[in-house]
Structure 1
């Protein structure tokens, strides 16, 4: 079974959403970012970490260190549903391939989602980006 699907099934079975999974180049460090509607606390991270440790033993997945945490204030936006959920927030993102004018990095107010497109109000006005073209995106926290 694919590792990310295994992680998602395990976390979702405990009532959590997997926001993102990061793995070091050699697969020795595994970071899992989880969330739920009312937020994440240390006990939530410990519960998911303990369950994943057991599952990895059964599946014979070899790793050195597992870190489970909340996505934080500058949470990554990895799914189209995340872009819909965080409409109205400031975001920054990077495109896989430069847009017209050879720009890859953008920052602006997330307006929402329309079909498979993400709508963002940038300095150049409202722009539409295909979700598939977005390489990385994060919420920009405001204090």
Structure 2
């Protein structure tokens, strides 16, 4: 099992390789994961375009450009996957909260706030490192530093 520090250092090196490629292709790097699943290691790179859907071709371009370089960084045999983060995309950066203002999000906090670590609501605004989350008509002020994990919540439209 890979140590947490070693994994974090590896992800940082992978990010330094991937960022210039995504920027050159007009894409945004959303997240990178390196994990073991069913006995196999996976390096998952999530990319998106700000105002349009990402294509399979976009993902293939990133994969082809970084494939050999990431091979030199990782000793284990692994599978490289480049994809969209999906409709329930993770919120990783502070700028994500500004970008997705008005959208529904699920936040898991490091510590309980009002007897819960799990909150789902609409991002009302983000300022001074505080997420203003509208939860059932009350607005919670959640410090960005308290967020352990967060993602958008997709809701089906009523027809």
TM range (shorter): 0.7 to 0.9
C-alpha spacing 1:43/1:118, structure 2 compared with 1 (3 Å): same
State how far apart, in whole Å, the 2-side matches of 1:6 and 1:100 are.
Answer: 41
TM-superposition CA deviations, 1:45-104 (whole Å, max 9, x none): 1001111103224x4433410111011111111111111111111111101222242x11
Q: Among 99, 109, 118, which residue is 2:131 paired with? A: 118
User: TM-score, normalization: structure 1?
Assistant: 0.88
**Offset of 1:133 from its aligned partner?**
1.1
State how far apart, in whole Å, the 2-side matches of 1:118 and 1:39 are.
Answer: 26
C-alpha spacing 1:115/1:65, structure 2 compared with 1 (3 Å): same
Q: Among 49, 66, 91, which residue is 1:36 paired with? A: 49
User: TM-score, normalization: structure 2?
Assistant: 0.80
Q: Secondary structure at the match of 1:24?
A: strand
**Offset of 1:25 from its aligned partner?**
5.0
State the match for 2:9 in structure 1: none
Q: Secondary structure at the match of 2:155?
A: coil
Aligned length: 141
Q: Secondary structure at the match of 2:26?
A: coil
| Kept in 1: contact 2:14–2:70 (CA 8 A) | no
State the match for 2:142 in structure 1: 129
Tell me which stretches of 4 or more aligned residues in structure 1 moved more than 6 Å.
none
Q: Secondary structure at the match of 1:135?
A: strand
Q: Among 73, 78, 97, which residue is 1:83 paired with? A: 97
Please say if 1:50 is aligned against 2:64: yes
State the match for 2:20 in structure 1: 9
State how far apart, in whole Å, the 1-side matches of 2:58 and 2:84 are.
Answer: 9
CA RMSD of aligned residues (A): 2.0
